[in-house]
Amino acid sequence: MKEDTTGSLKDLQDIDLQLENLRSRAAEFDPLLDEVEEPSLALEQEVGTLKNRLQEMKVEERRLEHSADDRRARSKKLEERLKSVRNLREEAAVRAEMDLLRQALEADEQEALTLLDQIRRMEDRLDEQQAALDQARADVEPRRLQLLEEQKNVLEKYGALKEKREEYAELVPDRERLDYERIRGGGRSVAVASLTPDGACGHCFGMIPLQVQNEVRKGASGIACEACGVLLSVGDDLG
């Protein structure tokens, strides 16, 4: 670092590279977390499907109950009507309708019973799968929490360094910083490199013309390596 309080681009870049490193370390936890959660995700999906199916079956079962209630009510009315028939022909017609109703009612009841049986079995299966899901979650919970904790630590380090970075960036002269940000904004990690002691670019190691070397060594800013485009700064051993 330079002796005065002016910030150097090299130091700013060091911080930025550390920030990039921390960010990618934090991102490495995501696939690990996915992996840990995968077995329970499959079970979660199955439990969800079972719950939906069960819900549909219960709705259908209620529909059958209502239908059976309706038919019973209509049966009762027909029984009443039977008392006031005026002749055998009318009586036969009413009885025929009652027979049809009874058959339909029996079919409804049979269907409802079958459905209730299926519902019970599905509820058992749901209980089993739910228990398996709880178990799967419990099995990976310590590992999941550990990963989350480690990721949180990295992100906290990142946050703290990011704050320091903003403070430090204030110390770098605006013009230098803008050049630097422009080059990094183009997607490059390395935007500034020191001259090597023998006068090469510290990034691509291409030789820098002597006159340019001298300007850089005198502290001129904003001079880029013609070969690779990074800003040149005085080397740490010279600065």
Residues 68-107 that bind Zn ion (CB under 5 A): none
Q: Does 190 bind Zn ion (CB under 5 A)?
A: no
Question: Which residues, 6+ apart, have CB-to-CB distance to 177 below 8 Å?
Answer: 9, 12, 169
**Which is nearer to Zn ion, 43 or 183 (by Cβ)?**
183
Q: Does 223 bind Zn ion (CB under 5 A)?
A: no
**Which is nearer to Zn ion, 69 or 226 (by Cβ)?**
226
Are residues 197 and 236 in contact, defined by beta-carbon separation less than 8 angstroms?
A: no
Q: Does 201 bind Zn ion (CB under 5 A)?
A: yes
**Which is nearer to Zn ion, 3 or 198 (by Cβ)?**
198
- Residue from the set 85, 122, 155, 204 that interacts with Zn ion by CB under 5 A: 204
**Which is nearer to Zn ion, 57 or 228 (by Cβ)?**
228
Are residues 196 and 205 in contact, defined by beta-carbon separation less than 8 angstroms?
A: yes
Torsion of CA 175, 177, 183, 187, to 10 degrees: -150
**Which is nearer to Zn ion, 169 or 228 (by Cβ)?**
228
- Residue from the set 203, 216, 221, 231 that interacts with Zn ion by CB under 5 A: 203
Q: How far is the CB of 142 from Zn ion (least distance, A)?
A: 49
Q: How far is the CB of 178 from Zn ion (least distance, A)?
A: 20
The Cα–Cα gap between 97 and 95 comes to: 5
Q: In DSSP terms, which residues pair with 195 in a beta bridge?
A: 201
Q: How far is the CB of 202 from Zn ion (least distance, A)?
A: 8
Q: Does 191 bind Zn ion (CB under 5 A)?
A: no
The Cα–Cα gap between 63 and 151 comes to: 52
- Rounded to the nearest 5 degrees, what angle is found at the Cα of 204, between the Cα atoms of 201 and 209? 35
Are residues 204 and 224 in contact, defined by beta-carbon separation less than 8 angstroms?
A: no
**Which is nearer to Zn ion, 126 or 228 (by Cβ)?**
228
Q: Is 6 helix (H, G, I), strand (E, B) or coil?
A: coil
Q: Does 225 bind Zn ion (CB under 5 A)?
A: yes
Q: How far is the CB of 22 from Zn ion (least distance, A)?
A: 26
Q: How far is the CB of 224 from Zn ion (least distance, A)?
A: 8
**Which is nearer to Zn ion, 154 or 231 (by Cβ)?**
231
Q: Does 228 bind Zn ion (CB under 5 A)?
A: yes
Are residues 180 and 13 in contact, defined by beta-carbon separation less than 8 angstroms?
A: yes
Query: How many residues line the site for Zn ion (CB under 5 A)?
Result: 6
Are residues 170 and 49 in contact, defined by beta-carbon separation less than 8 angstroms?
A: no
Task: Kindly state the helix (H) or strand (E) to which residue 171 belongs, with its residue range.
Answer: helix 88-171
Task: Kindly state the helix (H) or strand (E) to which residue 232 belongs, with its residue range.
Answer: strand 231-233
Q: Does 15 bind Zn ion (CB under 5 A)?
A: no
Residues that bind Zn ion in the complex, under the rule CB under 5 A:
201, 203-204, 225, 227-228
